[in-house]
Chain A
Amino acid sequence: MKAHFFPGIATAVLAAALLAATAAAQAGIIPAAELRGKRILLVTGQPDPDRPADDAAVKAHLESLGCVVTGALDSDPASRSQGQDLVVISASVNAHVLQGTYRDSALPVFTWSGESYPNLAMTGPRRHVDFEIVDTKIFYAQSFTNLYGLCVNATNPIARDVGLPAQLFGTLYLEPEETCWGRPGFGAQVVSVFEGDPDKAGLFTYEQGATLADGSAAPARRVGFFLGRDNFHMLTDCHGPAERDPDEKAWYVGLKLFDASLRWALSPPPPPPGSDHAELHAQLARAARGKKVLFVERIESPEGKEADEHDVAYLRALGFTVTVADQTDLARPAGQDLIVISATCSKYKLTNKYSDAGIPIMCHEGLYADVLHLTGRHRYTEYGEHGEDKESDDPEENYLDIVGAWHPLAAGLHSGLVQTNKTPGTLKWGLPTRGAIVIATLPNAPEQCAIFGYEKGATMAYDHIAPARRLLFPLDNDAFDDLTDDGLALYDAAVLWSISPPNE
């Protein structure tokens, strides 16, 4: 009996472990078992009897996870981090003492010191605007509000790891507590915000290579977490019957988010996308085989007709089967693998017909962004254009500022300004939600995003959930013919990402 019984249990246990490991691997996060032996430098402030901190609790928790924790003070030099795997900066540090000690560290940094966000270039420098410490005395009402976080991107690896949908959740246990938030740049990935305000990110991350708030590239992963100095032990968690209830389990996730953030920070970042355009193009051609594209345009458009024809020809040359549809045609997305919406389309004529399509959409028309729920509905506030005589004070543009260099959509291009078009022209932009992956912004306009996408399942404007991948890739009427090599590389990366299987 035993001979049959125990192998069964062992197989089940092994299968469960494999499933857990697979789920973690898919999320890009190491499983909890791999924390064992990880070396963590815990940076704290001088103990202050009048302002006790939870640093001892944090240390004990990290050690209970198997990590080897070394303590350091905020006044210690950065050399203390030699030989470590991760730097953890507590809110007990004096940010004026710590300053930018770990600003350029090649180690990942995980912090809940909101005042250190600017020093780490994770946010701008202005208190109340770029970051805030929500103290219970000064911000009593807000400290109650911040007992609730809003997950704005269920597709984020950390949210996926803890099974957090795009919903409210309990951050800390029931009593008003000190919290912090930051307003990171669009190079960041935001997991949760307070008060539903996209500018109050409670939990956010920067991938290695992502553009930080000061325009530089993150030397390694960075995590900002919403905790205060003395409430680690109040991070929500549940047990008993509540743990068996999926809704309650997905509500009390404070500690699970902390642990998942820690594991994300310690996980190896994805390899940077290759910068060989020929290889990218060949990869796209391989992926295009057997795929169908619905190219929606204004047939016989007085402007951009030729560019649309070249765009279609380019896609066909890659191997796609392309069906051209007029903007007024009945929507027939069934059987297609990608919908491309040309900038020759009129927003007014195109109507809502593709908004809820369950297949990926790459949209070249920035002014159509709100219809697709890529942005809010306020023209010139949430979407707009540069370089259009009557509608913009901004000059024509042919450069983009790459802020998501780490992502495959960036085609391996470096952070910073990249010339995408040969001549300056009209460039559309949108202000996406914090559920988006932002690849490029317009020069000198860090909140006007040019290339950005939503993973399937990500939260778009007005809480619409992306039914499939969505991408804004602004190309004005004639702009396809004007793309530089780098611009064409971005185009290839955009098409490839759009038709690739989503991360589910």
Chain B
Amino acid sequence: MNAVNFVVRFAASLTLLVLAAAGAARLAAADAAASYRAIGSFDLPGGVPGQAVRLDGPARRLYVSQGDRIAVLDADSGRAVGSVAPTPGVRGIEIAPGLGWGFTANAGDGTVTIFDLKSDAVVRVIPSTGREPSGVLYDPDTGRLFVSNRASGDLTVVDPVTGAVAATIPLGGALGQMACNRYGRLFVVAEDRSVIHVVDTRALEAQGDDPLAPGVQPTGIDMDRSGRRIFVACANGWLDVVDADNGFVFQVLKSGLGRGGVVFDRTKVRGGPGEAPWKGRILVATADGALTAARMNAFINYTYHDTSRAAADASTLAFDGSTNRVFVPTAGRVLILGR
């Protein structure tokens, strides 16, 4: 089946889903106490708007990109505890506590910066083989660093220890965020093609595409590694839930509009009155200022829960499972939402 067919047969089923979303909204109203709400904010140094965000939970450090540098904040107090620079036009941040290093994808000069997680010092700068590096992901299983290059539509694979480029994998499209599982597959969104590229992280070769529907223009991606589910936030307001094994979009949930980031968290959540516990949660922050929460009922069943107001232009987020807080970088500050 071609991608068009896939889209139409799923898209035409949306009446069902809208009805389901309406039902879920009623449920949320009865459980308003469980909704996320703004409970504070951290100021960003110099008031420079934040973009990408990453939390190192055990170290209680929050990394927020600010144009040509990374601000490092204390995740509890918001105090600025350091910075990483230079990171020209940084778009993606990754941390690898096992290595003691962090990584940034710098679209401004086409490089990847490796920095020390304790000292914030730059360890090494590696030129990417592609143009406009936008996403960066460290796969602990292969020990490789994957860099998605938005303008050239390819993936640069780097050995972070030596700095050697292991491969450049052409995929096509405006590549963005990535997620990987524990059995050798990497998933990369192609924002302008409405597909997820699948890459073999060991053989370092493309393995085909998973078409998305009804989601269009995927921007955020995360996955449930043990559940083998991929969650893709799409700019047209849908969150596609994909079976990572066969590439089948088996459920779609209502979400916010515009660019977005998504986080899956497997921590059990106590349900509202009369509501079964959640087996996990999916949070989506989108550019329309919405923070959408969805609940995991089972590996094959997820439901929309509610939408909270975050901040305009919020398109990335970090989740702190230990405090149940959501960090959303925005204009000059990091908004904190909690339940």
A and B co-occur in one complex: yes
> Counting CB contacts under 8 A, is B84 at the interface?
no
* A237 touching B1, Cβ below 8 Å: yes
* A61 touching B8, Cβ below 8 Å: yes
> Counting CB contacts under 8 A, is B15 at the interface?
yes
Interface hit among B242-250, B258-266, B304-312? B242-250
> Counting CB contacts under 8 A, is B185 at the interface?
yes
Partner of B248, one of A54, A232, A241, A252: A252
* B210 touching A60, Cβ below 8 Å: no
> Counting CB contacts under 8 A, is A16 at the interface?
no
Residues of A within 8 A of B60 (CB): none
Partner of A60, one of B8, B196, B200, B243: B8
CB of B76 to closest CB in A, whole Å: 41
> Counting CB contacts under 8 A, is B9 at the interface?
yes
> Counting CB contacts under 8 A, is A65 at the interface?
yes
> Counting CB contacts under 8 A, is B324 at the interface?
no
CB of B183 to closest CB in A, whole Å: 11
* B207 touching A244, Cβ below 8 Å: yes
When chains A and B are docked, how far (Å) is the Cα of A259 from the Cα of B250? 19
Q: Give the most central of B1, B196, B301: most A CB within 10 Å.
A: B1
* B1 touching A259, Cβ below 8 Å: yes
* A241 touching B185, Cβ below 8 Å: yes
* B8 touching A64, Cβ below 8 Å: yes
> Counting CB contacts under 8 A, is B323 at the interface?
no
Q: Known contacts being A61-B8, A174-B300, is A256 close to B1, with CB within 8 Å?
A: yes
CB of A100 to closest CB in B, whole Å: 29
> Counting CB contacts under 8 A, is B276 at the interface?
no
Residue of B nearest to A236 (CB): B248
* A240 touching B209, Cβ below 8 Å: yes
Residues of B within 8 A of A233 (CB): 9-10, 12-13
When chains A and B are docked, how far (Å) is the Cα of A52 from the Cα of B23? 14
Q: Give the most central of B207, B247, B300: most A CB within 10 Å.
A: B247
* B198 touching A57, Cβ below 8 Å: no
Residue of A nearest to B10 (CB): A233
CB of A134 to closest CB in B, whole Å: 18
CB of A243 to closest CB in B, whole Å: 6
Q: Known contacts being A52-B15, A259-B1, is A243 close to B247, with CB within 8 Å?
A: yes
* B210 touching A56, Cβ below 8 Å: no
Residues of B within 8 A of A241 (CB): 185, 198, 200, 207-208, 247
* B247 touching A57, Cβ below 8 Å: no
* B208 touching A57, Cβ below 8 Å: no
When chains A and B are docked, how far (Å) is the Cα of A237 from the Cα of B245? 11
Number of interface residues of A (CB under 8 A): 33
When chains A and B are docked, how far (Å) is the Cα of A163 from the Cα of B337? 52
Within 8 A of A (CB), among B284-313: 300-301
CB of B302 to closest CB in A, whole Å: 12
* A239 touching B250, Cβ below 8 Å: no
When chains A and B are docked, how far (Å) is the Cα of A234 from the Cα of B12? 12
CB of A57 to closest CB in B, whole Å: 4
> Counting CB contacts under 8 A, is A242 at the interface?
yes
When chains A and B are docked, how far (Å) is the Cα of A54 from the Cα of B16? 9
When chains A and B are docked, how far (Å) is the Cα of A239 from the Cα of B185? 14
> Counting CB contacts under 8 A, is A230 at the interface?
yes
Residue of A nearest to B19 (CB): A52
Residue of A nearest to B187 (CB): A240
Within 8 A of B (CB), among A171-190: 173-175
When chains A and B are docked, how far (Å) is the Cα of A259 from the Cα of B9? 13
Residues of B within 8 A of A54 (CB): 12-13
List the interface of chain A (C-beta within 8 A of B): 49, 52, 54, 56-61, 63-65, 173-175, 230, 232-234, 236-244, 248, 252, 255-256, 259
Give 8 new A-B contacts, CB below 8 A, not counting A61-B8, A175-B301, A240-B207: A52-B15, A57-B13, A174-B250, A236-B246, A239-B208, A240-B198, A252-B248, A256-B1
List the interface of chain B (C-beta within 8 A of A): 1, 4-6, 8-13, 15-16, 19, 185, 196, 198, 200, 207-211, 243, 245-248, 250, 300-301
17 contacts between A and B (CB under 8 A): A52-B19, A57-B10, A60-B9, A61-B5, A61-B8, A64-B5, A234-B250, A239-B209, A239-B247, A240-B196, A240-B198, A240-B209, A240-B210, A241-B208, A242-B246, A255-B1, A259-B1
Pick the 4 closest A-B CB pairs, nearest first. A239-B247, A57-B12, A60-B8, A60-B12
